[in-house]
């Protein structure tokens, strides 16, 4: 019983650590966005202001940032992490039921 509780604690720790790593990655991405985009606007302003090319990196990186935020904060939808966990548990229950009847 002690081994199982240790494994449970270890699994929870690994999941929590993975979540923290995802959050850290998102925040690094957000900080980079907030630092680089104004610099790109400045470069565009100082070089050739008639064509506002800085909108392209704002839009592209912004969409990537939005997807990253969705993955970190919301992703419990149809094919999210919650779905994966439920499917894994479902398959494990089915396998246990099949072994029980063999």
- The per-residue pLDDT for range 2-14, each reduced to its tens digit, is 666 777 788 888 8
| Number of domains into which the chain is organized | 1
- The per-residue pLDDT for range 44-75, each reduced to its tens digit, is 999 999 999 999 999 999 999 999 998 888 87
Rounded CA-CA distance 60/51 in Å is 17
Report the interhelical angle of 2-47 vs 55-69 (nearest 10°).
170
Q: What is the pLDDT of residue 58?
A: 97
| Residue-number span of the structural domain to which 96 is assigned | 2-101
Are the CB atoms for 71 and 84 separated by under 8 Å? no
Mean pLDDT across 31-39: 97
């Amino acid at each position: 019983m002690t081994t199982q509780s240790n494994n449970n604690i270890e699994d929870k720790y690994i999941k929590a650590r993975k979540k923290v790593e995802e959050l850290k990655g998102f925040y690094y991405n957000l900080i980079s966005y907030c630092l680089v985009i104004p610099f790109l606007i400045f470069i565009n302003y100082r070089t050739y202001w008639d064509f506002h090319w800085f909108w392209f990196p704002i839009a592209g990186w912004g969409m990537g940032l939005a997807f990253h935020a969705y993955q970190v904060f919301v992703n419990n939808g149809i094919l999210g992490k919650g779905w994966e966990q439920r499917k894994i548990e479902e398959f494990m229950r089915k396998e246990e039921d099949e072994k029980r009847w063999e």
